[in-house]
Structure 1
């Protein structure tokens, strides 16, 4: 059974620029291109959480942020550190999944009651039937749950959401078929007001650790 560690962090960084100044040059250039605001703060917080989590699990690991490899069209990965990781952030929360044996995918979404998320464009035919008897509130929550599962599943197989039609993925099934992959995906009910999904290409168990970034 694959074991995955999930880290959930509340991002309260007050001076993200100071943290960014300590990052490797490549990370400073990439993140520094974002304007100041929540996205900028969460990009920095995501890297800090990744560094903190890896160093806790592997105290003798090389410089975590320098070990990250980014290839156009692929999910980032470590060059030498023996861990698979996936990051996601929404509002003021950051989610990280770490695994020693399998690629993983995680997605977190803040449920904004003022925003209308629902659209049938990304729904499988089987999924559309689930919405027929739902009221407006339940429809929004159900749609976000489907979205997070699909995005987490695609991350687990190293794909971007624009590479595979989301309507081709049927979350009504216990195991998601994304040929040639079979993806195990679970919703995590760990944060009120948020929807989160975790995925891997094999059956897994997980533990959740909570922390804060300040």
Structure 2
């Protein structure tokens, strides 16, 4: 008699990928804290990205909980210093798990009712610097990322940057889902393989998937922490 096979544990996550230009300006949706941060940003590009990201986050959460975007109240207390620049937590539903990421003209938002999530999006240009390997890669992945080739990725410099960006977004999404962010050195663990549950640096289990990005020169990944086997990505 064969032992009963365990059904995979599936976790649904809603994901929004948008370009900054597609979100459009909606300053009336931002709260006092968000407007204050926005006013302090030096460059126009940074201000556009910040505003669009937080507008998209409010619209996404509004859709998830059925509350007007302007009525949503967030706490952003940093677990390290106590300042208001940490992960957003919805005060009226703190069990809702949120993650937001910006990369140049692109934004990613992830929302889950089930488990902590982390989403990250990055341009390939952002990982094009000499010290990337020593500052971001674990020794187990160094040769694979730097020398490739990896399946489905172009060779040469383009392929290397794509592999770097893929490794980086998987790592940062993982650290966000685990709730530690970049307080954990990214060189301490290899980027998790997509679609497999793994334990990261004794901090907990995660499963990671790559997200298809419809614009060139960008990579994105989504991570969920907990005893899950499959992420059901619900693109919005």
TM interval, short-chain normalised? 0.7 to 0.9
Which one of 52, 64, 70 corresponds to residue 59 of structure 2?
52
Is 2:29–2:69's contact at 8 Å kept on the other side of the alignment? no
Which one of 93, 96, 115 corresponds to residue 106 of structure 2?
93
Structure 2 gaps of 5+ residues are: 1-9, 81-85, 150-155
Paired position in structure 1 for 2:15: 6
Q: Give the structure-1-normalised TM-score.
A: 0.84
Paired position in structure 1 for 2:119: 106
C-alpha displacement of 1:36 = 4.0
Paired position in structure 2 for 1:182: 205
Is 2:211–2:222's contact at 8 Å kept on the other side of the alignment? yes
Is 1:126–1:172's contact at 8 Å kept on the other side of the alignment? no
Change (3 A) 1:176 1:92: farther
Bigger relative contact order, structure 1 or 2 (CA pairs below 8 A, ≥6 apart): 1
Q: Give the structure-2-normalised TM-score.
A: 0.77
The answer to whether the aligner puts 1:198 opposite 2:213 as a matched pair is: no
Paired position in structure 1 for 2:180: 159
Is 1:105–1:153's contact at 8 Å kept on the other side of the alignment? yes
Structure 1 gaps of 5+ residues are: 210-214
Change (3 A) 1:48 1:133: closer
Q: How does 1:16-95 map to 2 (within 5 A)?
A: 16=25, 19-20=26-27, 22-60=29-67, 63-65=70-72, 67-72=73-78, 73=80, 74-81=86-93, 82-95=95-108
Change (3 A) 1:191 1:14: closer
Pick the structure with greater CA Rg.
2
Is 1:148–1:197's contact at 8 Å kept on the other side of the alignment? yes
C-alpha displacement of 1:189 = 1.7
Is 1:75–1:159's contact at 8 Å kept on the other side of the alignment? no
Once residues 53 and 14 of structure 1 are traced to their aligned partners in structure 2, the CA distance between those partners, rounded to angstroms, is 12
Once residues 176 and 169 of structure 1 are traced to their aligned partners in structure 2, the CA distance between those partners, rounded to angstroms, is 10
Is 1:153–1:183's contact at 8 Å kept on the other side of the alignment? yes
Is 1:102–1:201's contact at 8 Å kept on the other side of the alignment? yes
Change (3 A) 1:192 1:34: same
Paired position in structure 1 for 2:152: none
Q: RMSD between aligned alpha carbons? A: 2.4
